[in-house]
Structure 1
Amino acid sequence: MIRHVRSHEEAVAAALAQGAAAKSSIVASWARSANVHGLDPARKPRDERLTEGELRALHQRMEPVSIAARPTLERLFQAVGGFGASVILASEEGVAVDRLGKPSEDRDFADAGLWTGTRWSESAVGTNAIGTCLVERRPVVVNRDQHFLSLNIELTCISAPVHDANGDLIAVLDVSTVRKDLGEGFAGLISHSATEAARKIEADLFHARFPKARMVLVPGIDRGLGALLAVDADDLVIGATRAARQHLGLSGDLTKAPLPVSDLLGVEAHVRPEDGERAVITRAIARAGGNLSAAARALGISRATLHRKLGRSE
């Protein structure tokens, strides 16, 4: 183990000395850890655990996200828990807020500091999946000695970003394990699962933000990316997920400046007032199963008026 630690420290030093940051995202993160944050791979960082009061305040602030994420975290843990993995939801500061793990493995993760209330930003502990995911805004896999600190080289960590209904990064979903036999291919599968779980959390947060809106899936891109639009009763887009915003070039608060869904998606729409009225009537008739009298009652007009508006005589 001592030889392994020394080998890791020498590898970090050599990569930084050779200026390999431009060729590797991991080495680029090592460079930030050393040059920007002043960390040393051989030294244990200062204690980055939050106080009870700070953690309580963070839990309160993150509660809506934690509640929305909990079912997905549990399903993900059912899939990966058997492989010695824990599942963590971390805040946008890199603090572990919620954690699922087997009690028999809790000691290993506690000893590694991968526990609720501990900060895992790059500035705190150097290269790691949670912190590097926050910096690079993308899914990240950091396998054992790819960590910056020698203290963390027993961990394999896999993270994916979670965005809110406005497309802002608000959390990180992490799967970590201390198992030594996790192959690169299997780590890739877990990364895919973690990314899919993060998109599911985003979709749940989006639905919760716009509970009465119609959800429209943006055509032309991977359905797994969760590119959704929230459309109101007037066919105006009042919300968009991050994937939808990126694909359609949207920005800003759409609730304050909504856009016609037809314009965004390039589909036909009513352009005359009478077209809109006819659409309302057509929907009422469809709801009434073709019964014109029932449709007229639902619209609050007489049957004769309904016929007149449809351009038919009684």
Structure 2
Amino acid sequence: MPIHSYTAHVQELEAFGMGYPLQGETRDRAVLGSWRRCIDQHRLDPSRTSEAHIVPAGQLRAHREESEPLIRIARSGLERLYQQLKGLDYVLLLADRHGIAVDFLGHDSHAIDLRSAGLYLGAQWREDVAGTSAVGTCLATGEALTVHQSDHFDFTHTTLSCTAAPIYDLQGQLAAVLDLSLLRSPAARASQQMALHLVTAAVRRVELANLMAQSGSDWVLRLAQSPDFLDVDADAALSIDARGRIRAMTHAATRMLAAIAGLNWRQQPLQTGQPLGRFFDTDLQALPQLMRNRPAQERILRARDGSIWFAHALPPQPRSNAQASPRPSLPAPLQALNTGDAAMGQLLHKAARLAPQDLPVLLQGETGSGKEFLARALHAASGRSGAFVAINCAAIPEALLESELFGYLPGTWTGGAHKGRAGLIEAAHQGSLFLDEIGDMPLALQAKLLRVLSESEITPLGARAPQKVDIRVISASHRPLAELAHSGQFRADLLYRLNAAELQLPALRERSDLLALAEHMLAALGCSLRLSGPAQAALRAHHWPGNLRELHNALRYAAALAEQQIDLEHLPDALQRSPAAVQGQDAVSDAALAGAAVEGRTLNTATLEQVLAQCQGNVSEAARLLGVNRSTIHRRIQRQQLSRVFARQEGER
């Protein structure tokens, strides 16, 4: 069907809204139903057009986190489908149950046009927002469909051709929509029949993968109407527990079982927990006869309605001993960062799973929280043979950053190295490139880095031909990159390339292993000093805006001053002056002095004054007799205003 003019499009919708029959156009029932909802329920104006609605970055992140298990399972299927369509300019979107695109596969060279059209991450395609569209109408109907060009309610979208299919979870709820779209397509709707077939098949495989991933302890029964495709691409699947009851099923299985039982799957949804024998002439004990050790043509399953199905039964997976044992030990480079904090331990186990992958990793955390330490550990645990190359994007002048990253050929500019220079990206070939403070990278250079990530090639300055590189990119920033992308200070397309996996390091003040970290750092400094109770209290009370870096510097300073142990007086002034530290110290001092006694006398103000007088105001000698620290005596002198003794002591000193 030809693309309408704006006027013709609005007139057709207005006539439809008033009940007039359509003139010369054939629309699918799903499209007409959506038009009716847009006019009657959503109160959308056919004459009003609007650009694609992209949700803010923070909202998108929340939706992506909610959909993370499904994205992880669906990703390999999406990539396979995208490769099949490579060169045909198709775009793949995975939208969640709210209609928001949470995953995207498309050519980066079209990023601006795709974002403008809404075929991009964060696009909102719900019917009440965008009108008739493949994603929104699929969510509303629960059916696979094509919305082709002028089928769209909003004239803005009438150049698009979009095909979508629903993805159901194992409880039969519509969880997501897979959409296959073109910015521009042939005029005929029939041109998208193949797209409808491909997207439907991809959804069936995603649902099957989801079922297999969650049915390790159950029998899985895969079903097909033809034996030829049973073992390679089944039509439907369901899982059966140890009691012979259906625990979960794909959507195709839901519809199949409803048909066998003579039910309408929409109006009378099947509940899980039904015995397998309600639908088939078989039971749990007969399932081993349907395993793959027999030809597919012989694995026949008769349904209660008389239909014949071919079945492939997969037995429960044996329970692994690892399931009952503690988590496996971390690789040595990551274990070195594990000092007992639970949140950090979880992060390190996640890092251990990510380390051998080629996924780009984004490390977020406050300044000094250990992002480079974690990046180096990720590289060391990755098994990559190349070097770990680090570059601080905020420390190199913008004019030099491009040449540092990409390198340059001989004679590119006056003053350059005579033989040219290899860039840091090339130096990281077969290794890891760590881009610290990536949030400070200039926008112009971000575009070139995006090409490196998408094409795995670089073009040195002065060169005409690109060269291939094999790198694993680890980036880090203390700045909220999602907010920077939302405000236009950081490229959103680059952000979604960099944060294929994101690790958020906890701040030091949030960690429970602060003292263990301090002891670890002291050991690394080569000293055997221990922290006194007052010093430990001061460390706990400090806010640590500089995190691990600040702690390391404080301990180096204290180790240089202390002789036998590190006390409060050896710590930097900022830690001694902290109100919380002083308060904590007073409690420690009171406990120490309350337990101290000289010749059986309780150490009250009078006793302390007598001890000081006995020592002729020598605080060190008084502290030795009482078994407490000098700083404790000084604080008690100041708090109890023992001015006469304190003055005498100061005069004698």
Provide the rounded CA distance (Å) in 1 between the counterparts of 2:4 and 2:195. 29
- Measured against aligned partners, the alpha-carbon deviations of 1:188-217 in whole angstroms (never above 9, x if no partner) come to 111010011011111111111212322112
Q: Name the structure 2 match of 1:265.
A: 280
**Counterparts of 1:164-313 in structure 2 under 5 Å?**
164-181=169-186, 183-218=188-223, 226-249=235-258, 251-252=270-271, 254=272, 258-267=273-282
Provide the rounded CA distance (Å) in 2 between the counterparts of 1:140 and 1:155. 14
Give the secondary structure class of the aligned counterpart of 2:186. Answer: coil
**Counterparts of 1:1-314 in structure 2 under 5 Å?**
4-20=5-21, 24-45=29-50, 48-181=53-186, 183-218=188-223, 226-249=235-258, 251-252=270-271, 254=272, 258-267=273-282
Gaps of 5+ in 1: 272-278, 280-314
The residue type paired with residue 128 of structure 1 is: S
TM-superposed CA distance for 1:24, in Å, is: 3.5
Provide the rounded CA distance (Å) in 2 between the counterparts of 1:193 and 1:3. 28
TM-superposed CA distance for 1:259, in Å, is: 4.2
Q: Name the structure 2 match of 1:310.
A: none
TM-superposed CA distance for 1:85, in Å, is: 1.1
Against the structure 1 CA distance between its residues 165 and 2, is the aligned structure 2 distance closer, same or farther, given a 3 Å change threshold? closer
8 A contact 2:30–2:137 mirrored in 1 = no
Provide the rounded CA distance (Å) in 1 between the counterparts of 2:52 and 2:182. 22
Provide the rounded CA distance (Å) in 2 between the counterparts of 1:165 and 1:2. 40
Provide the rounded CA distance (Å) in 2 between the counterparts of 1:136 and 1:112. 23
Gaps of 5+ in 2: 259-268, 289-653
TM-superposed CA distance for 1:263, in Å, is: 4.4
8 A contact 1:166–1:242 mirrored in 2 = no
Provide the rounded CA distance (Å) in 2 between the counterparts of 1:28 and 1:148. 11
Provide the rounded CA distance (Å) in 2 between the counterparts of 1:83 and 1:23. 25
Identify the range of structure 1 (11-20 vs 28-37) with the bigger mean alpha-carbon deviation: 11-20
TM-superposed CA distance for 1:234, in Å, is: 4.8
TM-superposed CA distance for 1:58, in Å, is: 0.8
Provide the rounded CA distance (Å) in 2 between the counterparts of 1:225 and 1:19. 45
Against the structure 1 CA distance between its residues 269 and 27, is the aligned structure 2 distance closer, same or farther, given a 3 Å change threshold? closer
Provide the rounded CA distance (Å) in 2 between the counterparts of 1:190 and 1:201. 16
Against the structure 1 CA distance between its residues 270 and 31, is the aligned structure 2 distance closer, same or farther, given a 3 Å change threshold? closer
The residue type paired with residue 239 of structure 2 is: A
Against the structure 1 CA distance between its residues 175 and 47, is the aligned structure 2 distance closer, same or farther, given a 3 Å change threshold? closer
What percent of counterpart residues are identical?
Answer: 29
Against the structure 1 CA distance between its residues 269 and 84, is the aligned structure 2 distance closer, same or farther, given a 3 Å change threshold? closer
Q: Name the structure 2 match of 1:287.
A: none
Against the structure 1 CA distance between its residues 48 and 181, is the aligned structure 2 distance closer, same or farther, given a 3 Å change threshold? closer
Against the structure 1 CA distance between its residues 263 and 220, is the aligned structure 2 distance closer, same or farther, given a 3 Å change threshold? farther
8 A contact 1:157–1:174 mirrored in 2 = yes
8 A contact 2:52–2:130 mirrored in 1 = no
The residue type paired with residue 108 of structure 2 is: P
TM-superposed CA distance for 1:185, in Å, is: 3.0
TM-superposed CA distance for 1:33, in Å, is: 1.0
8 A contact 1:81–1:102 mirrored in 2 = no
Give the secondary structure class of the aligned counterpart of 2:166. Answer: strand
- Measured against aligned partners, the alpha-carbon deviations of 1:283-309 in whole angstroms (never above 9, x if no partner) come to xxxxxxxxxxxxxxxxxxxxxxxxxxx
Provide the rounded CA distance (Å) in 2 between the counterparts of 1:219 and 1:191. 20
8 A contact 2:150–2:158 mirrored in 1 = yes
Number of residue pairs matched? 268
Q: Name the structure 1 match of 2:557.
A: none
Provide the rounded CA distance (Å) in 1 between the counterparts of 2:87 and 2:66. 31
Identify the range of structure 1 (43-52 vs 131-140) with the bigger mean alpha-carbon deviation: 43-52
Give the secondary structure class of the aligned counterpart of 2:85. Answer: helix
Give the secondary structure class of the aligned counterpart of 2:121. Answer: coil
Against the structure 1 CA distance between its residues 266 and 53, is the aligned structure 2 distance closer, same or farther, given a 3 Å change threshold? same
Task: Report the aligned-residue RMSD.
Answer: 2.9
8 A contact 1:203–1:226 mirrored in 2 = no
Structure with greater helix percent: 1
Against the structure 1 CA distance between its residues 231 and 49, is the aligned structure 2 distance closer, same or farther, given a 3 Å change threshold? same
TM-superposed CA distance for 1:131, in Å, is: 0.1
Give the secondary structure class of the aligned counterpart of 1:38. Answer: coil
TM-superposed CA distance for 1:162, in Å, is: 0.3
8 A contact 2:101–2:121 mirrored in 1 = yes
TM-superposed CA distance for 1:145, in Å, is: 0.8
Provide the rounded CA distance (Å) in 2 between the counterparts of 1:235 and 1:2. 55
- Measured against aligned partners, the alpha-carbon deviations of 1:52-85 in whole angstroms (never above 9, x if no partner) come to 2211111111000000000111111112242211
The residue type paired with residue 16 of structure 1 is: G
Provide the rounded CA distance (Å) in 1 between the counterparts of 2:21 and 2:210. 39
Provide the rounded CA distance (Å) in 2 between the counterparts of 1:2 and 1:146. 10
Provide the rounded CA distance (Å) in 2 between the counterparts of 1:248 and 1:47. 40
8 A contact 2:218–2:242 mirrored in 1 = yes
Give the secondary structure class of the aligned counterpart of 2:67. Answer: helix
Against the structure 1 CA distance between its residues 5 and 242, is the aligned structure 2 distance closer, same or farther, given a 3 Å change threshold? same
8 A contact 2:276–2:283 mirrored in 1 = no
The residue type paired with residue 125 of structure 1 is: A
The residue type paired with residue 137 of structure 1 is: G
Against the structure 1 CA distance between its residues 129 and 23, is the aligned structure 2 distance closer, same or farther, given a 3 Å change threshold? closer
- Measured against aligned partners, the alpha-carbon deviations of 1:116-169 in whole angstroms (never above 9, x if no partner) come to 112101100100000000111100101111100011001000000000111111
8 A contact 1:16–1:27 mirrored in 2 = no
Against the structure 1 CA distance between its residues 144 and 23, is the aligned structure 2 distance closer, same or farther, given a 3 Å change threshold? closer
The residue type paired with residue 270 of structure 2 is: S
